[in-house]
Amino acid sequence: MRPFALITSNTKSGHSSRSSYTKATQSSKCCGVLISNNIPSSLLTVNTPFQAIAAQIFTHKLITVCSLYLPPNIQIDMTNLNNIMLQLPEAFVILGDLNGHSQIWGSDDTNSCGRQIEKLLHDHNVCLLNTDEITHFIHLPGHFTP
């Protein structure tokens, strides 16, 4: 079993994705969760202004996988982040591009989104799984983010 979340960019308008977002937060990115056809699963509704999609995977244990995209440089309301957490049945995994930087997970600096994610992790007693691998390459020599 290897479900994974997919964040894509430059999607053409007119193409639909199975995600939940409002026009106010719509960008050129969308979320997806790819699950093998031989794994029983069901799509969940996640009510949020962010781009998010979730599915429950039925294995020896029920697992919820949520793919989430938070655009960079926007003010994020903590209530909206908390609501996502409250909607996901346990046990859950959130994967995605959250655009949060924190020294806790290896960034050189901490931005406001990173501080909000830190608070979310603390308030909901959830763990962050991260490596020191580069997750984003900017097409300029020597620029990347952990």
Helices within the chain (DSSP H only): 78-87, 112-123
Query: Coil, strand or helix: which one is 113?
Result: helix
> What are the residue boundaries of the structural domains of the chain, listed by start?
4-9+26-128
Query: In this structure, which topology does domain 4-9+26-128 adopt according to CATH?
Result: Deoxyribonuclease I; Chain A (3.60.10)
Top mean pLDDT of 65-69, 134-138, 142-146 is at 65-69
Distance of CA 56 to the CA centre of its chain: 15
- Which tens digit of pLDDT belongs to each residue from 10-60? 444 433 334 444 444 445 567 778 788 888 889 999 999 999 999 999 988
Instruction: Write down the pTM of the prediction.
Output: 0.74
Dihedral of the alpha carbons of 33, 38, 41, 46, in degrees to the nearest 10: 10
